[in-house]
Structure 1
Amino acid sequence: MHAWKYRLTAAAAVVAAAAGVFAAGPAAQAARGGDEGNGGWEPIGGRTVDLQVLALNDLHGALEPPTGSNGEVIHEHEDGTTETITAGGVEYLATGLREARQGQERSVTVAAGDLVGATPLLSGLFHDEPTVEALNALEMDVAGVGNHEFDEGWEELVRLQEGGCHPEDGCYAEGREFTGAGFPYLAANVVHEDTGEPVLAPYSVQRLNGIRVGFIGVTLEGTADIVTQEGIEGLEFLDEVETINRYTAELREQGVNAVIALVHEGGYPASEAYNADCDADGGGLSGPITRIAAETDAGVDALVTGHTHQPYVCTVPDPSGRDRLVTSAASNGRLFTELNMEYDRLRRDIVRTSVEGTNRVVDREQERAPDLTELIGYWNELAAPVANAPIGWITEDIAGRGAGSPEFPLGDLIADAQLAHAREIDQETDLALMNPGGVRADLTYAASGEEGDGVVTYGEGFTVQPFSNTVNLLDLSGEQLLAVLREQVSGANEASPKILQPSEGLAYTLDLTRSGADRIVADSVTVGGEPLDPAATYRVAVNSFLAGGGDGFATLAEGGDPVVGNDDMAVLADYLTANSTAEAPLAPPAADRITVVG
């Protein structure tokens, strides 16, 4: 249980970091015990003690059980067959964490970013205060920031840390003021450009019944490229490895040798099963985290990671050649990672060879935690008038990114909705493009509440599109449009392509047997059924995030004659209402606008 409440301002946090006091306050120090000296003697009670670390990442405010593919994990059996298990929901997550802590004298719960942001309506409608309150109830001890912690800007992140009513919307109930996070948010590599000081605490030293463990939190260096620019004005995102190494050395100077990094950057395992042996048969891990893990100071004992929403427990050699665990617990609270290890009290360090990790399923067969059920019920009652309003009807599930293909039905549906809205503003609009990362969930046919099967509520739509972007119109030459399509698979997106979801009116071939920009077959691109004309001008609709060059689409930021339209969620709701009824529900688009080869 928490014996302390973190209440440092961002400025005070930086000062405290220099003094090495990012730990529990005096009350917790008394509860958890003091430090052991090493002095060459054998500590009473044995040289090593057990330490448990429970880890989350990419919760994204999924308080209620997530639906569709966002609420499933794949289990691999010993014979190689697999089964799909429904998972997630903080009521079950609380139960799982509490059971895992039983019998543990030294347990700490941590997270690697994106706990808030891109959240369902239940949390997003209230600026993610419900999620922070749920994390407090989960007994979160320390969390690193991710890119989505900056969705509403860094000053709002500081408010979530410190508490207080929202500056515009105020408090949501009379006599009930938001108290903030009961744990420190860490942002070691997020600094003010003018001072170079971190916007929040860079690290936290947790005192656990006589031992000290340091946690350093960083987000991916590329955060500035994937968030709205106005929210991070004046901030700089530093290299992850250099930052972790700097603060590892600082902790070492304070006598804290046990260090775990919370890194909001991730990788891709060979198997999608949460319990697959990552290191078996040469499977291993790929993606950006592998470089970070390989170059991070050998004094860091494990890396808890996130961002890619993948489940893995893998080893990556550190700079000294010793294996080091790198973990991720998928997303949406479907899993949590349990790390067990020994702590050497003489060396004041974690015994590296003892570190073991397992991803635990947050299955829905276990009992719900009553306090979390009560918390969700409270916020649901406040949200009900907005969340339960029907906005459309569908014939079956409309798959988002879980469809497993570069183009997916829900992406096309959203692009069509934005094209329809854009044509209300300018009837000459030719096409719309939607970023795949902006589609946060599936639209599911089965009722999530009392609305009935096939009914899409505003709350379900908000879960799909929670960012409050606007639909923007801009002019692109044919040459620029081709450059945008090529940016999907080249430059910043070459290693991990971001295939824009096309509206009706755009078609082309994606040849996966080629490399780089050549994967877009230039002479296959058609607009309105006609071959792309490099010299022509096309009117294109995109959301405001893409219009600013987000997700590596720099050419979109060069578009001419910009016009700002309506909120993208309102656009989706209007489209569903206009194109579906209970008697004539909407069927999923065919997702056949991109021809994939290879």
Structure 2
Amino acid sequence: MPATPQRRRAVRRLTIGAAVLAAAGLAAGALPAGADTGRGARTGRTVDVQLLSFNDFHGNLEPPQGSSGTVEELQADGSKKSVPAGGAEYLAQSLRTARKGHPYSVTAAAGDLVGASPLLSGLFHDEPTVEAMNKLGLDVTSVGNHEFDEGRKELTRLQKGGCHPKDGCYEDGKKFRGAGFPYLTANVTDEKTGKPLLKPYSVWKHKGVKIGFIGVTLEGTPDIVNAEGIKGLKFHDEVETINKYAKVLNRQGVKSVVALIHEGGMPASTSYNYNCDSPGPGDGISGPITEIAKHVTSKVDALVTGHTHQAYACTIPDPSGRPRTVTSAASYGKLYTDTTLTYDRRTRDIVRTTVKAPHAANHVVDRTQPKAADMTSLITRWNKLAAPVAGRPVGHISADIAGRGANAPESPLGDVISDAQLEATKADGKGGAQLALMNPGGIRSDLAFKASGPEGDGVVTYGEAFTVQPFTNMMNVIDLTGAQLLSGLQQQVIGPNAASPKILQVSKGLTYTLDMTKSGADRVVKDSVKLNGEPLDPAKTYRVAMNEFLAGGGDGFPAFKDAKNKYVGPSDLDAFTAYLTAHSSADKPLTPPKADRITVVK
């Protein structure tokens, strides 16, 4: 087994440099008064424990492309600056720099470290990412919904090690050793035994200091993953589960507790370093995590969250009215959070008062710093193994085609993908599709014009296409009446999608108006829905293409779940790459679509 994180870090901590403090930007504050500097750490009543955290890494070992690889930084004059960020080489370096001067430092994550990963990690079932997490010194993580993308058995293998049951070992003489940190699944239990799938909690210990970590994923995981991957599992309420295990830890003498929660919120600002507590504590954030934070027991001292891929470092009062930090470090390793937990040796609890919460701030994983050499070596090694597949050209583009980072409900890349799915399934004998719908969460990246490798600008490689469509879901074509299709469009903005609408990307020929000044289902203007210029007929049956996840009701679209006459076509990735090849060349590259199929009224 790998050396424990405690042994790995026993030799690497001294005092924080002025450069690190400066890098905190507007989000940083001074260390709490009376903070331990390290010299008196062994003898003082209180000691400052550094909690470093991140979330939603999604196998992004290399810097993410396009807008997926930037963070927005608020400047002193009120303007905003886009800063390139992310990549395992820089994340590891950032964490190692931050640890200097902190003899008590623990690193935690809030899930989705793997899944929906670029080809460099996804091709190898995310073994490269787990290896990278071991090297950068991760101590503990909660499980996220994407850890279930390949099912419970694969998650267990990532934890315990062993070569892939079908693909085997990827390197001669090397067996995958598994995660050197615990995956925590407190609210995920086996239906038969009632026991958590993996550990529900873990206790970090260092020189007499004990901090307990409880890890949960969102209760709604079954709504956003393929049913087969979670068969035989139950997902329980986050608050009830955390409160249960906080009591268990307290009974064991562990009074300092941190919850790692793969559920999140929506910040009031898109800038990572905005003031989340202005005008008051917690006013700068909304969404599911706010209610969770208000009801998680006061025995928990800090909440590290994720899932929404947003950046925030907020203070939300716990049930007793005391301030408590709630943080998230965006996604893809672009940020990390540094939180100071003041540990009282006598009470064995974190010191929290009504005037001072644990200090927390998000920091940019800046690409101008030196790269971590061991991560460079890891990436080079796995890239060599992936090269025969990853470097194959599949198309050409004339400019960036925005997908996940697009600001509008409809994205240019969403149009390309839905058109590709329609083309792959529309012919007789191939499903006879008349239109296609694509869930926006399945688009994982932009297509960047500037080459990140040796292929040349404008060339789209298989590896880049895989990064956009990493799930390789099979395409389905199903019968839907006009009424069912309209119901599906309405489900974009109601039910579980009411608070944060999931706007489906639509193929050419389908047009409609989305009126955001209205509420509920009325946001989808019924009379505006047309296919090839003809009004949608509620009684008519249409052949609709979509990936198997969406056809199974995933992402809050139950209208599609019980459809009839299903045809199974190629994978979404095969459809995407075939379309790029057929519709582009070096002389005639594909241009970004106008994204004008959905008219939005604000």
TM-score by length of 2: 0.92
In the alignment, structure 1 residue 558 sits paired with structure 2 residue 562: yes
What amino acid is the match of 1:294? K
Give the secondary structure class of the aligned counterpart of 1:550.
Answer: coil
In 2, the alpha carbon distance for the partners of 1:324 and 1:92 equals: 29
SS state at 2:426 partner: helix
Counterpart in the other structure of 1:269: 267
Amino acid at match of 2:359: E
- C-alpha deviations, 1:305-333, integer Å up to 9, x for none? 00000010001111111111000000000
User: Contact 1:342–1:354 (CA<8 Å) still a contact in 2?
Assistant: no
Q: Is the 8 A contact 1:29 1:207 kept in 2?
A: no
- Summarize deviations over 1:145-186 as a string: whole Å, max 9, x none: 100000000110000000000000000011011000000000
Distance 2:563 2:512 in 1: 21
> Is this contact kept in 2: 1:105–1:209, CA < 8 A?
no
**CA displacement, residues 199-226 of structure 1 (integer Å, 9 cap, x when unaligned):** 0000000002211000000000000100
Distance in structure 2 (CA, Å) of the matches to 1:431 and 1:28: 54
> How many angstroms apart in 1 are the aligned matches of 2:267 and 2:349?
29
Aligned to 2:379: 376
Distance 2:485 2:192 in 1: 37
- The alpha carbon displacement at 1:3 in A equals 4.5
Measured after TM superposition, the shift of residue 77 of structure 1 is: 1.3
Letter in 2 for 1:349: D
For the 8 Å contact 1:430–1:528, the answer to whether it is kept is no
Which of 72, 79, 82 is 1:81 aligned to? 79
User: After superposition, what is the alpha-carbon deviation per residue over 1:404-435, rounded to whole angstroms, capped at 9, x for unaligned?
Assistant: 01011101110000000011344742100000
Q: 2:42, 2:409 → 1: CA distance?
A: 59
Deviation by residue 1:424-460 (Cα, 9 ceiling, x = unmatched): 3447421000000000000010011011110000000
Picking from 380, 386, 389, the partner of 2:389 is 386
What secondary structure is seen at the aligned counterpart in 2 of 1:551?
coil
Letter in 2 for 1:325: T
Corresponding letter in the other structure for 1:129: E
Separation of aligned partners in 2, 1:217 and 1:94:
23
1:232-268, Cα deviation, whole Å (9 max, x unpaired): 0000000000000000000000010000000000001
1:570 is paired with a residue whose SS is helix
For the residue of structure 2 that corresponds to 1:160, the secondary structure is: helix
Find out whether 1:593 has 2:597 as its counterpart: yes
1:510 CA drift (Å): 0.2
Give how far 1:72 is off: 0.2
Corresponding residue of 2:139: 141
Q: Is the 1:268–1:310 Cα contact (8 Å) retained in structure 2?
A: yes
Q: 1:356 aligns with which of 343, 356, 359?
A: 359
Indicate conservation of the 8 Å contact 1:31/1:209, yes or no: no
CA separation of 1:208/1:341 partners in 2, compared to 1, >3 Å: closer, same or farther? same
Partner residue of 1:456?
Answer: 460
- Tell me the amino acid that sits aligned with residue 399 of structure 1: A
Q: Does 1:215 align with 2:218?
A: no
For 2:317, the equivalent position in structure 1 comes to 317
TM-fit CA distance, 1:559:
1.2
In 2 relative to 1, CA 103–31 (structure 1 residues): closer, same or farther, beyond 3 Å? closer
1:581 corresponds to 2:580: no
Aligned residues: 569
2:537 corresponding residue in structure 1: 533
- Name the CA distance, whole Å, in 2 between partners of 1:320 and 1:28: 38
More off after superposition, 551-560 vs 127-136: 551-560
Whether 1:468 and 2:472 are equivalent positions in the alignment is yes
Name 2:36's counterpart in structure 1.
none
Query: What's the counterpart of residue 99 of structure 2?
Result: 101
Q: 1:563 to 1:54 in 2, by over 3 A?
A: same
Taking the aligned partners of 2:593 and 2:575, their CA distance within structure 1 comes to 17
Distance 1:180 1:446 in 2: 35
C-alpha distance in 2 between matches for 1:559 and 1:427: 14
State the SS of the aligned residue for 2:549: helix
Q: Which residue of 1 aligns with 2:16?
A: none
- Tell me the distance in 2 between the aligned counterparts of 1:445 and 1:305: 33
Contact 2:341 2:351 in 1 (8 A): yes
How far is the alpha carbon of 1:281 from its aligned partner? 3.0
CA drift at 1:31: 10
Name the amino acid aligned to 1:243. Answer: T
Aligned to 1:118: 116
Contact 2:269 2:284 in 1 (8 A): no
Match of 1:508 in 2: 512
Alignment map for 1:235-274 (pairs within 5 Å) = 235-274=233-272
Partner of 1:294: 294
AA paired with 1:422? T
Contact 2:431 2:569 in 1 (8 A): no
- 1:506-539 superposed Cα distances (whole Å, 9 cap, x missing partner): 1100000001111000011001210000000000
Aligned 1:38-49 pairs, distance under 5 A? 45-49=43-47
Q: 1:175/1:526 Cα in 2 relative to 1: closer, same or farther (>3 Å)?
A: same
Read off the aligned partner of 1:196 and give its amino acid letter.
G
Q: For residues 516 and 367 of structure 2, what CA distance do their matches in structure 1 show?
A: 39
Q: SS state of the match for residue 529, structure 2?
A: strand
- In structure 1, distance between residues paired with 2:333 and 2:89: 10
Contact 2:397 2:458 in 1 (8 A): yes
Mapped to 2, the partners of 1:77 and 1:29 lie a distance apart of 35
SS in 2 for 1:242: helix
Structure 1 pair 342–354 and aligned structure 2 pair: CA distance change class (3 A): farther
Label 1:122 to 1:79 Cα distance change in 2 as closer, same or farther (>3 A).
same
Question: 1:18 is matched with which residue?
Answer: none
CA distance in 2 between counterparts of 1:52 and 1:494 reads 37
Question: Does 1:173 pair with 2:171?
Answer: yes
Q: Give the aligned partner of residue 69 of structure 2.
A: 71
Aligned CA distance change for structure 1 residues 4 and 69 (closer, same or farther; 3 Å): same
User: How many angstroms does 1:103 deviate by?
Assistant: 1.3
1:522 aligned partner, one-letter code: K
Q: What is residue 336 of structure 1 aligned with on the other side? A: 336
Give deviations 1:282-318, integer Å, cap 9, x for gaps.
5421000001000000110000000000010001111
Q: Which residue of 481, 505, 518 corresponds with 2:522?
A: 518
1:399 maps onto 2:436 in alignment: no
CA distance in structure 2 between the partners assigned to 1:520 and 1:197 by the alignment? 43
Contact 1:401/1:436 (CA < 8 Å) preserved in 2? yes
* 31 and 275 in structure 1: CA distance in 2 versus 1, 3 angstrom threshold: closer
- The answer to whether the aligner puts 1:411 opposite 2:414 as a matched pair is yes
Separation (CA, whole Å) in 2 of partners of 1:354 and 1:470: 48
In structure 1, how many angstroms separate the alpha carbons of the residues matched to 2:77 and 2:412?
34
What CA distance in whole angstroms lies between the structure 2 residues aligned with 1:495 and 1:342? 36
Q: Which letter does structure 1 place at the counterpart of 2:495? A: G
1:341 is displaced (CA, Å) by 2.3
Partner of 1:40: none
Q: After superposition, give the CA deviation of every residue in 1:455-483 in whole Å (9 maximum; x if it has no partner).
A: 00000000000001011100000110100
Give the secondary structure class of the aligned counterpart of 1:323: coil
Cα distance between partner residues in 2 of 1:184 and 1:319: 29
2:433 aligned partner, one-letter code: T
Residue aligning to 1:493: 497
> TM-score, normalization: structure 1?
0.93
Is the 8 Å Cα contact of residues 508 and 526 (structure 1) preserved in structure 2?
yes
2:484 to 470, 480, 483: 480
State the alpha-carbon separation in 2 of the partners of residues 208 and 349 from structure 1. Answer: 14
Seen in structure 2, the aligned counterparts of structure 1 residues 210 and 31 have a Cα distance that, compared at 3 Å, is farther
Kept after mapping to 2: 8 A contact 1:260/1:300: yes
Secondary structure of 2:301 counterpart: strand
Q: Note the residue ranges of structure 1 that are not aligned, 5 or more in a row.
A: 6-23, 33-42
Give the CA deviation at 1:4.
Answer: 2.4
1:374-418 deviations in Å (ceiling 9; x for gaps): 000000000001000000001100001211010111011100000
Q: Percent of counterpart pairs with the same letter?
A: 62
The one-letter code sitting in structure 1 at the alignment partner of 2:318 is: D
For the residues of structure 2 that align with 1:74 and 1:56, how far apart are their CA atoms? 17
